[in-house]
Amino acid sequence: MNNQRSPRRKRLIIVTLCTALVCGVLYQLADRYLIEHVEVVVTAVEPTAAESESVEATSKSNQAATTASGVKSDDWNYSSEDLNISIEQVVTGSSSNQITYYVADVETTDASLLQSAFAKNVFGRNITETTSEIASNHQAVFAINGDYYGFRNDGIIIRNGVLYRNDPAREAVAFYKDGTMASYDEKKVTAQTLLDAGVLQTLSFGPALIKNGQLIQGFTNVKIDTNVGNRSISNANPRTGIGMIAPNHYVFVVVDGRQNDSRGITLDEFAKLFAELGAKEAYNLDGGGSSTMYFMGRVVNNPQGKQEERGVSDILYLGEG
């Protein structure tokens, strides 16, 4: 009798252990890639009805003042006393070698108009909204997806002058109060040094495409993360990037890819494109399905090749509201 039960007990123990192991692995994966982890609430208190009415009245007043100051806009352009944006769609090549991309030339009188915003107004991992949702919630005139900081737990993350994360990991880019931008090695510069130097925003993705006016080439097997399934981003892909032509004069580029009318672009091609646009500094941001350009309430490009945005953790945007 005992001899008959023994094999069954062993099988039961093995099945139980295997089930526990599988459940443990699945939970770890869900915790790493799916479960939201809120670290900082950026907007914690909902306004009262009276406060909302006051804000709405102020907003209408500001809108009237803005209109009076001579704002002009259409589907591809926006101009005011402090901000000028001009967007162009470019199609090159043909057949399987066709590339469709969008260039936004942006000039501003104040570097603080270039801002960052988090999905759901909180900082943390696996918290996402679409680029257009975040942009709309912050009255953005123009926006692109950021570095998807919430997919990883490292990097030096400074947004709107506030330090949120301090875990140096890779080549990043910083935007300063004087309207300049520059890439840097996170492991060689402290977060406090960046703040003391007047850094308003940092983005941690990469790589840098142009540094100090020098075009960078020869990108091979570039990987940003060490997560399971991570692969090189060097080959043709949808792209998002930002360059600086001069202080407070930026160029944003979003490239469609993985679709019939646009194959995407390699990192080497992306760097050359920014050089052709006159950028003295340029940096690659999160791409692939995240690549999105938003302008005046609409998505300009074709995310994921099917007009469908992917949720992201953050955006860079410009607005005057």
CA angle 224, 132, 315 (to 5 degrees): 40
pLDDT at 198: 98
Average pLDDT of the residues of the chain = 87
Measured in degrees and rounded to the nearest 5, phi and psi for residue 156 equal: -100, 115
Q: What is the pLDDT of residues 178-225, one digit of tens each?
A: 999 999 999 999 999 999 999 999 999 999 999 999 999 999 878 776
pLDDT at 119: 98
Q: What is the pLDDT of residues 234-274, one digit of tens each?
A: 899 999 999 999 999 999 999 999 999 999 999 999 999 99
Closest to 190 in 3D by CA, of 208, 166, 171: 166
pLDDT at 29: 47
pLDDT at 3: 56
Helices and strands, number each (H, E), in the chain: 5, 21
Q: What is the pLDDT of residues 88-107, one digit of tens each?
A: 999 999 999 999 999 999 99
Q: d(Cα 170, Cα 301) in Å, to the nearest integer?
A: 29
Q: What is the pTM of this model?
A: 0.84
pLDDT at 220: 86
pLDDT at 62: 42
CA 77 to chain centre: 22
Q: d(Cα 210, Cα 283) in Å, to the nearest integer?
A: 7
15 pLDDT more than 80: no
pLDDT at 94: 95
Q: d(Cα 65, Cα 54) in Å, to the nearest integer?
A: 16
pLDDT at 46: 41
Which amino acid, one-letter code, is at 143?
Answer: A
pLDDT at 304: 95
Mean pLDDT across 60-74: 61
pLDDT at 23: 61
Give SS3 for 283.
Answer: strand
Under 8 Å between Cβ of 234 and 267? yes
18 pLDDT more than 80: no
Confidence of residue 61 (pLDDT cuts 50, 70, 90): very low
Of the two residues 11 and 264, the one the predictor is more confident about is 264
Residues 6 or more apart whose Cβ sits within 8 Å of residue 285: 144, 145, 146, 147, 203, 205, 240, 241, 242
168 pLDDT more than 90: yes
